[in-house]
Structure 1
Amino acid sequence: MTTSPDTLLRFRDAFPILGTSTYLVSNSLGAMPAAVTDHLADYARQWQTRGVRAWAEGWWELPVKMGNEIAPLIGAAPGTVVMVPTVTQAMSAILSAIDFPPERNEVVMTALDFPSVRYAYDALAPRLGARVTVVPSDDGIAIDLDRILAAITERTRLVAISHVLFRSAYIMDAAAICAKAKSVGALIALDAYHSVGVIPVDVQALGADFLCGGVLKWLCGGPGGCFLYASPGASEQLAPALTGWQAHRAPFAFAEQMDYAQGAWRWLGGTPVVPALFAGLEGPRIIAEAGLEAIRAKSTRQTSRLIEMADARGWRVHAPREAERRGGTVAFDVPHAAEVAKTLLARDVVIDYRPGAGIRVAPHFYTTDGELEACVAAMDDILATGAWTAFAGVHSTVT
């Protein structure tokens, strides 16, 4: 039996690190496209030769221009997506835009949402008159759908959850959750950092009021480039208290009072992080060319193979077994996982480690099947030879 050629491997040459490392950590930081060097040089040239004039020659509009590049990847219309520095800032801006009357003051989250957003919501919600309800997990991998749906009631003002859980890559049933939120009149904000770029997403089909994520991971765009989608209805009805001058209708009038811009512009903050936006343009363009349906199909196949190899070795897998509920990452809880991870990194097999989950392996569209086999073979060797002991007790900031 012959297998079809992997046409997605045609993109490998666009990512220089793939020539020197077995790069399996796109769930944390996507590989850098070679063209980013040129884009950053273009930024430097503009600053060097145009100085302050560069703001009027494209820099000021860049958060919306790049948002329009992201929009097709999430099924959004032009002008509904803008770029902000962090998802925590985006989700905090959403929270700050909402009123919380006593009879409808609940925010529904889960125990497996990314901690950074939880920190902000736990701190901000009480000051806004809101109360955070956290739906627990029974196994640290998934959140029971029925339990989430039951938590969304007529008292719920906002449902703010992850689309894909960061530790386990469990895909939440966003369609069912959005439908329940809508049925009781609640708003819905999805943190899609771990889905966009490896899973097809359609905000309009879901009916989400807000969706945010970043180009750091699966979109191969580097740090500092996060996106916020706001539905036209949400932008018409709401305006964030956490704001800045770029959200003003006439920012360069320097008016004393805020007069919010229309549409997605109103969700911007202060001065944009221009270098990060220059760096982030290329990755989403490559992802769009590769095609999210093809990327998802390959991801499902390769993560299934990783689970097969783990099962053959008796390693506990911290990831969903059902392909339709699994994102792009598989975590192995191998013996001495922290030390094995450090040994792999020393061998240029680039993965990451999370306490309670193990070694996270995240193939992407540019990953070969051979690289997966080599990664697991390296784990076998490290465990068999005791090579991991060289890192026993060694502190590392790389997790």
Structure 2
Amino acid sequence: MTTDLAAWRQEFPILATTTYLISNSLGAMPRGTASKLAEYANVWATRGVRAWEEGWWEMPVSVGNMLAPIIGAPQNSVTMHQNVTIAEAIVLSCFEPGGKRNKIVCEDGNFPSVMYFYAEQKGLRLVTVPVERLAGAIDEETLLVPTSHVLFKTSHLQEIRPVIEQAHKVGAHVVLDCFQSAGVVPVNVTELAVDFAVGGCLKWLCGGPGNGWLYVRPDLMDRLEPRFTGWMAHAAPFTFAPPPLERTTGPMRFLNGTPQIPSLYAAVEGLRIINEVGVANIRRRSRMLTDRLLEGIVEAGLPTITPRHGERRGGTVAVNPPDAEAISRELLARDFLIDYRPDAGIRISPHFYNTVDEVDTILAEVAALAQHRPALRVTRGS
């Protein structure tokens, strides 16, 4: 691990041409990722089908093993998947709603894709509540609690232990979504004793799209039988035997069809860097930069829904001046890469590779554009 975070800027080419403050949406690509993707192409070109027995087959687990230390998970407990929705589907397929235990409970600020998935399941009831009421909504009728560690709009960092404890007390299971925390906020799934955790390398882990992941608590792994399955979960896949499925043991049990090999190559450099820098170091840097952002936003009199207290905040600060969407478009036109979300405003997300100067500059730009929004409407046609 290293505390010289400024030295890492040269490893992210886009930082030389933009003010990149959107790692909550898509982390900057490491320089070495281009070489990794070229390596994939070369292996395919020169090794062909032999690549499967020379590392490709195991990549959903070997890349998961690179991610495991970042979330405090043991080796061989994390598998890689296309996205979080698929990971959630794998988890749900391990359970059969029975009797009154057919309730899915989550906070109303959960990511929509997750809520869409559960809302469409026959025989299940999706119950959403404000995040502060989540633990109290979990009862003996609850099957699963898919919940966000950090909420994507507000950047609220949830106190998750009471949720897990209440779920376990009544026989429910928790699926902790760490997409907006892993890589920027310390999380230890082992200490939390959480049943499942999901996330992706797309954002703070700088691994690109197509790299969702699933953690399964080791004592549950061989007891569960996911019905969302496929040939990679077979104990002897190359026998191509007809059903019923003879399930393998360990993490491969939670795989299904042929994996997304190019995406897995793309994830490696980001995971290597985050492991080397260390999440504790990243968190200190993030706290300093987001504290500075919030102080500037408050001083400018701009509204925000992001928690002021750093212990309750993830890596993002949302600022919501009038005409926030138009202001966000203007910022993008000026190569300040941020994003806009309804009811949240402009999301600004410095990572360990960002600087104090970049934070001060974006603050000045937002304040100036908010002050002169009539001119902005004319020039941007909004």
TM-score category, normalised to shorter length: over 0.9
Per the normalisation by structure 1, the TM-score is 0.92
Is 2:272 the counterpart of 1:272?
no
Is 2:228 the counterpart of 1:239?
no
Task: String of CA shifts for 1:302-354, please: whole Å, max 9, x gaps.
Answer: 11111111111111012112211100000110121111111111111110011
Give 1:265's aligned amino acid: M
Cα offset for 1:7?
Answer: 2.4
Question: For 1:58 and 1:202, how far apart are their aligned partners in 2?
Answer: 28
Question: For 1:114 and 1:283, how far apart are their aligned partners in 2?
Answer: 23
Is 2:269 the counterpart of 1:319?
no
Match of 1:281, SS?
A: helix
Matched residue, 1:203: 189
Question: For 1:87 and 1:123, how far apart are their aligned partners in 2?
Answer: 16
Per the normalisation by structure 2, the TM-score is 0.96
Is 2:126 the counterpart of 1:132?
yes
Matched residue, 2:175: 189
Is 2:98 the counterpart of 1:111?
no
- C-alpha contact (below 8 Å) 1:84/1:226 kept by paired residues: yes
Structure 2 unaligned blocks of 5 or more = none
Q: CA RMSD in A?
A: 1.4
Question: For 2:283 and 2:370, how far apart are their aligned partners in 1?
Answer: 32
Cα offset for 1:390?
Answer: 2.6
- C-alpha contact (below 8 Å) 1:340/1:388 kept by paired residues: no
- C-alpha contact (below 8 Å) 1:343/1:388 kept by paired residues: no
Match of 1:56, SS?
A: helix
Structure 1 unaligned blocks of 5 or more = 1-5, 138-142, 394-399
User: Which among 218, 234, 255 is matched to residue 241 of structure 2?
Assistant: 255
Give 2:103's aligned amino acid: E
1:1-399 pair list within 5 angstroms: 7-124=4-121, 126=122, 129-135=123-129, 137=130, 143-144=131-132, 147-257=133-243, 258-385=245-372, 386-387=375-376, 389-393=378-382
Match of 1:316, SS?
A: coil
Question: For 1:39 and 1:130, how far apart are their aligned partners in 2?
Answer: 42
Match of 2:23, SS?
A: coil
Question: For 1:162 and 1:151, how far apart are their aligned partners in 2?
Answer: 15
Higher mean C-alpha deviation, range 243-252 or range 278-287: 243-252
Give 2:356's aligned amino acid: D
- C-alpha contact (below 8 Å) 1:181/1:188 kept by paired residues: yes
Task: String of CA shifts for 1:141-173, please: whole Å, max 9, x gaps.
Answer: xx21xx212111122221111111111111111
Higher mean C-alpha deviation, range 240-249 or range 343-352: 240-249
Structure 1 residues 27 and 389: alpha-carbon distance in aligned structure 2, compared to 1, 3 A threshold: farther
- C-alpha contact (below 8 Å) 1:170/1:319 kept by paired residues: yes
Question: For 1:388 and 1:348, how far apart are their aligned partners in 2?
Answer: 19
Match of 1:132, SS?
A: strand
Question: For 2:187 and 2:26, how far apart are their aligned partners in 1?
Answer: 20
Cα offset for 1:388?
Answer: 5.2
Give 1:389's aligned amino acid: V
Cα offset for 1:103?
Answer: 3.1
Question: For 1:200 and 1:338, how far apart are their aligned partners in 2?
Answer: 31
Give 2:177's aligned amino acid: D
Cα offset for 1:90?
Answer: 0.3
Cα offset for 1:383?
Answer: 3.8
Q: What is the aligned residue count?
A: 378
- C-alpha contact (below 8 Å) 2:118/2:124 kept by paired residues: no
Cα offset for 1:100?
Answer: 1.4
Give the fraction of aligned pairs with identical amino acids, expressed as a percent.
Answer: 46
Which structure 1 residue ranges, 4+ long, deviate > 6 Å from structure 2? none
Task: String of CA shifts for 1:272-316, please: whole Å, max 9, x gaps.
Answer: 000000001110110111111111111111111111111111110
Question: For 2:378 and 2:365, how far apart are their aligned partners in 1?
Answer: 15
- C-alpha contact (below 8 Å) 1:175/1:206 kept by paired residues: yes
